[in-house]
Structure 1
């Protein structure tokens, strides 16, 4: 018989410790007295990952732990259960929690208020070979693996004999195919290429210029979220650096030795980076509740219609963007970015508190502060408050925004110190080899298999975070 965890005070259960869940719980622990409600968080890790800086982890600029905000330290009043929610019974008011390996037996957890913020997972499309051979960049495991993998490929290429077969193998080892010209794909290609130039003396016979970079996207622009002007500037920068950018092109299939593209070419490679955006956690598709483009439908107060004690926000929810309401029409959904998730979490926390008699509920309304993209070195593009910026000024704005958005002072100091050390110390080029290949596959990073996409209910895609 399944064990059921119960309590005496009203219990607020938050599913997911990302930006939205973290911000909601931080508001609740600040504004609810301890005797008003018990706060419980179910999350597979004991940290909040500041994912916008994952490309800098992959290039060794920032230490991995420095973008992982300790949930136990930041949320001392919250009971943290390390595990994944595998099912939700809205009628019985319980969630089924599968603990992480070795942490205990599966259990049912009762709730009085339920906050569904499980976030998103890397989007996969039904392309043969991609789940097995593609590498994402949405988790710390993936970022650390990618860094070691690239160093290993250059090590292997440097050791190839000068024979026809050796030269062919060397070319394949030195070819990187990246899919997705949004934030993830563009930033990781730009930053990684720049990083390899700073450490190219690590090898005897290989230089960073020998690495062939191919960036493909089915869309017609790079970084479309930043607008056509900044997108063109980013595209021009990539091409000046020698990146082969192929727009209007997708992956047809992949295996361990090559990637076949829809433009009819076959690229021999050992590295396929997958950064085509995100979809809501598979848990959302199992709830039996209305969704829009794969995300859970909520109202302007982030409540789930028909369920007054259930809320959702962040990448998993289709939140109406009241600040972007079009004249005479329905508001669009907010994009799945960290900026919106953080602010939605604060509003969500306020509305949960209001349901417990503390404060008044309010609708979510936030005008986007702008978007930033770090392209390595002193190159960046940014659009703060609608003002387009490039070059060093954009770089300063980009780093300033990340320090502002990191939700813990200790992490801000550590990241700022990493950036400082980067300017005065030799770049880091050590290969740690601490992540197993199977743990870095796209399916492993998702934790659970994604729900199949239904015709007419396509998931929302975002290359941003």
Structure 2
């Protein structure tokens, strides 16, 4: 009981890899490791579009933490506030119970939430793609629109139900639009012969002047051509002006009859950051290259919620919030914590990006591994090979590979689970962004 307490906030790539690294680096009894997460799995975010489109089952992209961690105590809940002065976390368990948890070392990896703007109707009508539950809900919702469109005699309702709008031309938005467009096309051919496929319209909207700018002009243009050939209408330099239950108004003046707005326009650091009182960089916790947070004793920050200097670049920029960086930062943070406990110096994090992969479903993909531009089948092989290697358990890899094979051979039955039937499934419903405490509320809770 006298061993130092290491509390890890968040069960994403950074948090889980840190816990795994600590279990390997420390002997039993050297430290008490606790990981706080509302779920008991490590979500593999890059494959969420495959879950939404039914290509993969949810379990395939959610390796169990109990398979990954053996000496780490798991607390089912979320941290809603931190008092660095008292070295205390405020934890809301999944039951709603709120408790205080002390720490000697705190590893902040709370991740990110969907970034939103003050657009009329957005909070009430937009669906996200940030959690496993959101992907499952979105699949149900899209299939329901096909079923309802086939059943109605109202032409205006049918048009609105068969028009889908995805906002965000990054990886999440592009892959979501691509995979779900394949779902609606396949479902209409097999099970809705009375629906005119020409009525089904997918729109991909982004305020940026280019699609997938991280891939460069050539591959971004290739992705645009692939999606356009499949009927996806791409509108760049455009955003959403307002949204209601049955229409989306764009900033270029168009009004699209639609009952589906998928919002993937970037991410913002977890609201937990606001309770710390630490210096921030564009909303992310300012951290040193070894992940220490200046001015906060024993606090480390990494992953999407942290602004960690990117030492592989000479322009003074910060590591971009990607799964690749988060996982490697987690492993490096474990080494630094183990070094501290053993009286040794910490080392700065440095990692060169290995490249990017974008899976557009079927044989369509664009990839840039190690700076080499690929498209089509070679890019798809690289993309899926990378995803299989990145999954953390053999069971998850087998499930994912088997699902890909089964879907390619047998297709999909397009079954709705009834998950959250009758609910709108807003961003707030799934991401609980209103659950966090202010610094004053945290102090009152921990010291009052």
TM-score, L = length of structure 2: 0.94
Task: Give, in angstroms, the shift of residue 359 of structure 1.
Answer: 6.0
Structure 1 residue 110 and structure 2 residue 102: aligned? yes
Instruction: Quote the Cα distance in structure 1 between the aligned partners of 2:199 and 2:417.
Output: 23
Equivalent position SS for 1:96: strand
Aligned to 2:44: 50
Give runs of aligned pairs for residues 41-440 of structure 1, distance below 5 A: 41-101=35-95, 105-161=97-153, 166-200=154-188, 201-326=190-315, 331-357=316-342, 360-436=345-421, 438=423, 440=425
Structure 1 residue 40 and structure 2 residue 34: aligned? yes
Task: Give, in angstroms, the shift of residue 208 of structure 1.
Answer: 4.1
State which drifts further: 358-367 or 9-18: 358-367
Task: Give, in angstroms, the shift of residue 358 of structure 1.
Answer: 7.0
State which drifts further: 197-206 or 377-386: 197-206
State which drifts further: 208-217 or 241-250: 208-217
Task: Give, in angstroms, the shift of residue 439 of structure 1.
Answer: 7.1
Structure 2 vs 1, CA of residues 20 and 358 (structure 1 numbering), >3 Å: closer, same or farther?
A: farther
Task: Give, in angstroms, the shift of residue 450 of structure 1.
Answer: 8.8
Instruction: Quote the Cα distance in structure 2 between the aligned partners of 1:187 and 1:243.
Output: 12
* 8 A contact 2:125–2:424 mirrored in 1: no
Structure 1 residue 25 and structure 2 residue 19: aligned? yes
Aligned to 2:430: 445
Listed one character per residue, the Cα deviations across residues 3-54 of structure 1 (whole Å, up to 9, x for unaligned) are: xxxx532100001110000010000001101111000011111111101000
Equivalent position SS for 1:260: strand
**Count of aligned pairs between the two proteins:** 435
Aligned to 2:442: none
Task: Give, in angstroms, the shift of residue 348 of structure 1.
Answer: 0.7
Equivalent position SS for 2:298: strand
Aligned to 1:4: none
Task: Give, in angstroms, the shift of residue 72 of structure 1.
Answer: 2.1
Equivalent position SS for 1:355: helix
Equivalent position SS for 2:85: coil
Task: Give, in angstroms, the shift of residue 308 of structure 1.
Answer: 4.2
Instruction: Quote the Cα distance in structure 2 between the aligned partners of 1:426 and 1:382.
Output: 25
Task: Give, in angstroms, the shift of residue 309 of structure 1.
Answer: 1.3
Instruction: Quote the Cα distance in structure 1 between the aligned partners of 2:363 and 2:249.
Output: 34
Instruction: Quote the Cα distance in structure 1 between the aligned partners of 2:95 and 2:421.
Output: 17
* 8 A contact 1:20–1:117 mirrored in 2: yes
* 8 A contact 1:158–1:204 mirrored in 2: no
Instruction: Quote the Cα distance in structure 2 between the aligned partners of 1:19 and 1:76.
Output: 17
* 8 A contact 1:180–1:276 mirrored in 2: yes
TM-score, L = length of structure 1: 0.91
Instruction: Quote the Cα distance in structure 2 between the aligned partners of 1:225 and 1:440.
Output: 30
Aligned to 1:457: none
Task: Give, in angstroms, the shift of residue 110 of structure 1.
Answer: 0.9
Equivalent position SS for 2:202: strand
State which drifts further: 331-340 or 430-439: 430-439
Task: Give, in angstroms, the shift of residue 386 of structure 1.
Answer: 0.5
* 8 A contact 2:273–2:284 mirrored in 1: yes
Task: Give, in angstroms, the shift of residue 361 of structure 1.
Answer: 2.1
Structure 2 vs 1, CA of residues 314 and 245 (structure 1 numbering), >3 Å: closer, same or farther?
A: same
CA RMSD of aligned residues (A): 1.5
Instruction: Quote the Cα distance in structure 1 between the aligned partners of 2:9 and 2:160.
Output: 43
State which drifts further: 292-301 or 426-435: 426-435
Unaligned 5+ residue runs, structure 1?
1-6, 452-465
* 8 A contact 1:439–1:445 mirrored in 2: no
Instruction: Quote the Cα distance in structure 1 between the aligned partners of 2:343 and 2:399.
Output: 36
Instruction: Quote the Cα distance in structure 1 between the aligned partners of 2:196 and 2:418.
Output: 22
Unaligned 5+ residue runs, structure 2?
437-448
Structure 2 vs 1, CA of residues 386 and 437 (structure 1 numbering), >3 Å: closer, same or farther?
A: farther
State which drifts further: 235-244 or 339-348: 235-244
